[in-house]
Amino acid sequence: MSDKDKDTVLTINILCTDGSTMPVHIMVRGEELATLTEFQGEISSEIDGGTQWGLYHVTKGPYLLYWRTWTKHHAFENADYAISGNLPEAGVRYLGVSTSSLSPEVPETLINIAKGENNGHHNNPSGAVV
Print pLDDT tens along the chain (130 aa): 566 888 888 888 887 788 778 888 888 899 999 999 998 776 555 567 889 999 999 988 899 999 998 887 666 678 899 999 999 999 999 999 988 889 999 999 999 999 998 654 443 334 443 3
- Taking the C-alpha atoms of residue 129 and residue 87, their distance in angstroms, rounded to an integer, is 21
Of 39, 57, 56, the C-alpha closest to 48 is 39
Is 0.85 topped by the overall pTM?
A: no
Provide the β-strand partners of residue 49: 71
- Taking the C-alpha atoms of residue 129 and residue 36, their distance in angstroms, rounded to an integer, is 6
The single-letter DSSP state of residue 108 is H
CA 29 to chain centre: 15
Q: What is the pLDDT of residue 123?
A: 37
Q: What is the pLDDT of residue 20?
A: 79
CA distances from 51 to 69, 91, 92, 99 (A): 4, 14, 15, 17
